Amino acid sequence: MKQLITGLNHEKLFCRIGYAYLAFFILLTGSYLIGYLFLPEGIMQHFPSPALTFLEGNHSFSTLFFSTLGYNLFILMLIIGMNLFRVKQFTFGYLPLYANTVILGFFAGTNSFSGGVSSYSLEGWLMFARIGFLEFSAYILGCAATVGLVMFHSEKWRGESFTRIRGWSQLRLKRGEVGVLFIAVALLIMGAYNEWTMIGQ
């Protein structure tokens, strides 16, 4: 576990991405199994989710597409913004990323998704591959690409204030990190497009 956490801030970008995907699959699988084995089916169907508000009422494809894209870009920006903070070797952008991963696992494990497609079916997994996996891949790439933007650091989780270690003018991304961010945005566009074309079928 310590090696995994350390790997999330690895000096090499593609190593960080690899560790980030590894943590994603571990948490997703673990929360899926907990939901499947120990929680009642459908228990999270009424769990409040801002993303589900897009389904309320009649909207055009473009409205649904841009609303979904805007929401997912907000989550991506939240992750990047939280990467300004780090305790020891753990950068905070991973917190919303993996909190959402666990929630996704519980939804899938309890078959609580709306839309009538079972997460226990091949159709459900294919839909996840074309929508949810693209969105979470964008979050993973965006988080891994921006862990170097830390402005505030603390050596302790409790009892020590954050220390500012650099200013805004000192924040820089490498060329490869900028490229990965562009890929992340492209994945969010693809995910939003796939979501509403599949639901509209």
For the stretch 15-27, pLDDT in tens is 999 999 999 999 9
* pLDDT of amino acid 61: 75
Q: Which is it for strands 85-87 and 152-154: parallel, antiparallel or unpaired? A: parallel
* pLDDT of amino acid 46: 75
* pLDDT of amino acid 6: 87
List C-alpha distances in Å: 196 to 65, 70, 123, 133. 7, 14, 16, 15
d(CA 172, CA 67): 30
* pLDDT of amino acid 1: 75
Q: What is the DSSP letter of 148?
A: G
> How many Cα atoms are found within 13 Å in the side-chain-facing hemisphere of 164?
5
d(CA 94, CA 71): 18
* pLDDT of amino acid 51: 54
Q: What is the pTM of this model?
A: 0.92
d(CA 186, CA 190): 6
Please name the amino acid found at residue 26: I
* pLDDT of amino acid 97: 96
* pLDDT of amino acid 17: 97
User: Nearest-CA neighbor of 162 among 148, 151, 147?
Assistant: 151
* pLDDT of amino acid 62: 82
* pLDDT of amino acid 200: 53
Residue ranges of the chain with per-residue pLDDT less than 70: 48-59, 115, 198-201
* pLDDT of amino acid 197: 81
Q: Are 144 and 7 in contact (CB under 8 A)?
A: no
